[in-house]
Amino acid sequence: MNPVLALLLEAAVKYAPVLAIELAQTLSKDKVTDADWDALKAKYYGKTYEQYISEAPPCKPA
Amino acid sequence: MNILKHNAGALLAAMLAIATFGGCITAGDNAYKAIASTEATVDAAMKTWDDYVAWKACQAGYDESQWRRQQDDVKLAYTTYRTAMNATYDARASYIADKNAGGTKLSSALEAAKAAASTLGNLVRVYAIK
φ, ψ dihedrals at B86, nearest 5°:
-60, -35
Contact between A49 and B92 using a beta-carbon 8 Å cutoff? no
By Cβ distance, the residue of A23, A32, A49 closest to B40 is A23
Residue of A nearest to B1 (CA): A1
Residues 6 or more apart whose Cβ sits within 8 Å of residue A12: B8, B11, B12, B48
Q: Using alpha carbons, select from B103, B45, B51, B53 the residue that is nearest to residue B77.
A: B45
Q: How confident is the model over B27-86, as pLDDT tens digits?
A: 678 889 999 999 999 999 999 899 899 888 888 888 889 999 999 999 999 999 999 999
The span from the CA of B50 to the CA of B106, in Å, is 30
Half-sphere exposure of A13 (CA within 13 A, CB side): 7
Q: How many CA atoms lie within 13 A of B122 on its CB side?
A: 8
User: Model confidence over B43-52: pLDDT tens digits?
Assistant: 999 998 998 9
- pLDDT value for B2: 39
- Reported pTM: 0.81
Contact B51 A56 (CB under 8 A): no
Q: Do the beta carbons of residue B130 and residue B17 sit within 8 Å?
A: no
Q: CB of B67 within 8 Å of any CB in chain A?
A: no
A39 contacts on B by Cβ (under 8 Å):
none
A33: nearest CA in chain B? Answer: B29
Amino acid A8 reads: L
- The rounded Cα B100 to chain-centroid distance in angstroms is 29
Mean of pLDDT values over B1-23: 49
